[in-house]
Structure 1
Amino acid sequence: MLSISIGPLSLPTAVLVLLASVAIGLLVARVLTRRGDASTTDPLLLVFFGALLFGRLVFVIRFADSYDSVWQMLDFRDRGIDTGATVLAALALLVVQLKRFAQLQRAMVAGVVTAAACFALGSGLLHSQHQQQQLADIRLETLSGYQVALPQLAQGKPVVLNLWASWCPPCHREMPALLEAEQQNPNVSFMLVNLQENRDTVQQYLRQHQLAFDNVLLDYRGDVASYYGAQGVPATLFFSADGKLADTHFGELSHAILQQGITKAGG
């Protein structure tokens, strides 16, 4: 499942797993803190968020060519983070905090270990679901009016499958990045799957914004979104050449996240 709907909001499952893990870790640390000792919340939040910021910095450095401005580098909405750098930074910050707050060592270690275990378990479950998923054998209609199956359209190439709608502002903002990536990666099959809009609306939108994608497909019933558990748009799935799901991203794409997904898919 790519996302979970909470009222009018659709949130990425990976982010929810992270937030839940941190909350459980903080709770465990608080329970184990002895009465009269200082709070463990502030030092642990410094560990968690400091590590995330360092992981973001390393990710931005790795994909610096994909960012057009400093503002884009600071824009955390694409959730681009280097996992290895984040883990190393968390360990380093934890060591510093353990030295600063010797009386809280037991509680802080328990909190971090609990958060890490919960996140590893949740991420592992999500990853196992992804490994079992393939490029679905779903037939959709093209703008020309004929039916085509997704694996047939892939032609044995890595696939970038983007779910979008014309009324969705984040979808509109990421379209230039998708179009540029399609032009720069002829060895990758890009599929722009419109969610539950009619052909005239889609064609008018593409003409108005001068977007000429090779493969625009109409998912009138939302079959693709339902199959992969996308509770909103935009959502992007990356498949390797053998049809296996390699990576997913729920929410607006940046050039860097798009390039990372293509790389994971073998493009």
Structure 2
Amino acid sequence: MSRSVRNIIRITIIIGIVVLTAVTLWFNFSSKNQSTKVGDTAVDFKLKTTEGEVIHLYELTKEKGVIINFWGTWCKPCREEMPHLSEANDLGDGSDYEIITVNVSENKQQINQFLNSLDEEVNLRMAMDSDRSVTKAYNVGPLPTTIAVDKNNKIVKKQEYQLTQEDIQDFIKALNDKGE
């Protein structure tokens, strides 16, 4: 192969890399699919629970703030925080806030097997987002992700990854401070 042919191949490869990089950057920065953040209006949803009940977010937020916890049965941090969420939900009198969980992509049997494997009993409403429509609407990335929605349907707090007991209390406080 001659030197000029090699130079043409090198230049073509370099131009290809530059074009692919530019296209990738353009898609990343022009995407409207950005993460939900504090101050955004919460996306309304209706999901069926493992008990067959339908949870409608905007119906709940007419009377109280809602803490939404997105989780999966395979997620170790979800397993560790679930009893703390249940305890915080039990401690509330039900009038100021409610904690609901949204399981991502799994079925009732998987969820029940997960709950039965826990050392502590969990008393939370388990909504099932089987088609991931709510997860996608909130642009949830890592699990667990927790979002607090006040009585005005505004997101007042959001945290990706595992919650501590102190974090959960901060979520409740955020609802009480902003949800009036």
CA distance in 2, matches of 1:219, 1:154: 19
CA contact 1:140–1:217 (8 Å) conserved in 2: yes
- Structure 1 residues 154, 208: closer, same or farther in 2, change over 3 A? farther
- Structure 1 residues 146, 175: closer, same or farther in 2, change over 3 A? closer
Q: Which residue of 1 aligns with 2:51?
A: 144
TM-score by length of 2: 0.70
Q: Which residue of 2 aligns with 1:232?
A: 142
Q: Write out per-residue CA displacement over residues 230-253 of structure 1, whole angstroms, 9 at most, x where no aligned residue.
A: 112100001112221100000000
Q: Which residue of 2 aligns with 1:72?
A: none
- Structure 1 residues 238, 200: closer, same or farther in 2, change over 3 A? same
Q: Which letter maps to 1:164?
A: W
RMSD: 2.2
**Unmatched tracts of structure 1, length 5 or more:** 1-125
Equivalent in 173, 179, 184 of residue 91 of structure 2: 184
Tell me which stretches of 4 or more aligned residues in structure 1 moved more than 4 Å. none
Q: Does 1:219 align with 2:129?
A: yes
Q: Percent identity?
A: 25
1 or 2 for the larger relative contact order (CA 8 Å, sep ≥6)? 2
CA contact 2:37–2:158 (8 Å) conserved in 1: no
Q: Which residue of 1 aligns with 2:26?
A: none
Higher strand share: 2
- The alignment partner of 1:131 has SS state of coil
- The alignment partner of 2:176 has SS state of coil
- The alignment partner of 1:261 has SS state of helix
**Unmatched tracts of structure 2, length 5 or more:** 1-33
Equivalent in 165, 171, 176 of residue 266 of structure 1: 176
Count of aligned residue pairs for this structure pair: 141
Alignment of 1:62-211 (within 5 A): 129-134=37-42, 136-154=43-61, 156-186=63-93, 187-209=96-118, 210-211=120-121
- The alignment partner of 1:237 has SS state of strand
CA distance in 2, matches of 1:185, 1:129: 25
CA distance in 2, matches of 1:179, 1:147: 19
CA distance in 2, matches of 1:155, 1:203: 30
CA distance in 1, matches of 2:62, 2:121: 23
